[in-house]
Structure 1
Amino acid sequence: MLVNFSMRYIKDIPDQRYKIGIYQWNNKYIIKIESGLYEQTYKIEEYEVASVAELESVFDENFMNCITARFDAMDNDFMLTLRRNEIIF
């Protein structure tokens, strides 16, 4: 089996709130969504989608609301552990 170790940039998806990039690596598409200190990554096998354009259709209002809620939860979890462990006050 041939394994490709270099991740290839495909494109950015414009968004006012987040940096969204699509990459290709190891026969998968990787969707990276970045917001400040936090990042969400989703992977899907190449054979599961017909095209990169099809991947763009997943960014509907419902999914974007879930992304926002997850970033909020990540921030809350991180801040709580920083305070609980007296790293910040």
Structure 2
Amino acid sequence: MRFVQDIPHTRFRIGLYAWNGKYIVKIEAGPYEQTYKISEMDLTDPAVVPAMLDEPFMSRVAQRFQDMDTDWQATGERNDAF
């Protein structure tokens, strides 16, 4: 996997990578990660990726991270792991 660039964000660590004919957007928050794969054929210029990470999209990303944490905590409690 080839690193393309970091995408600055106030809440999350975001990296853009290229691998196997795809661009990969990795968004990290603590122990959780969301990955979006975009075919190089579908994206004319990887420079547009930061603009695609607009407020409505990032708001949903934040909600998804919250849901992931809720699910993880719930399974830990159900299974006496925490």
Q: Same fold (TM over 0.5)?
A: yes
Matching residue of 1:50: 44
Residue type matched to 2:30 in 1? G
Matching residue of 1:16: 10
Please identify runs of 4+ aligned residues in structure 1 that moved more than 4 A: none
Counterpart Cα distance in 2 of 1:58 and 1:11: 15
- Structure 1 residue corresponding to 2:54, chosen from 51, 60, 64: 60
Q: Secondary structure at the match of 1:47?
A: coil
> Once the two structures are superposed, what CA deviation does each residue of 1:8-46 show, in whole Å capped at 9, x if it has no partner?
000000001000000000000000000000000000000
Residue type matched to 2:29 in 1? S
Q: Secondary structure at the match of 1:29?
A: strand
Residue type matched to 2:60 in 1? C
Larger Rg: 1
Identical columns (%): 48
Matching residue of 1:34: 28
TM-score normalized by structure 1? 0.90
Gaps of 5+ in 1: 1-6
The Cα of 1:52 is off from its aligned counterpart by 1.2
| Stretch deviating more after TM superposition (46-55 or 19-28) | 46-55
TM-score normalized by structure 2? 0.98
Counterpart Cα distance in 2 of 1:80 and 1:58: 32
Aligned length: 82
Residue type matched to 1:63 in 2? F
Is 1:76 matched up with 2:70? yes
The Cα of 1:54 is off from its aligned counterpart by 1.3
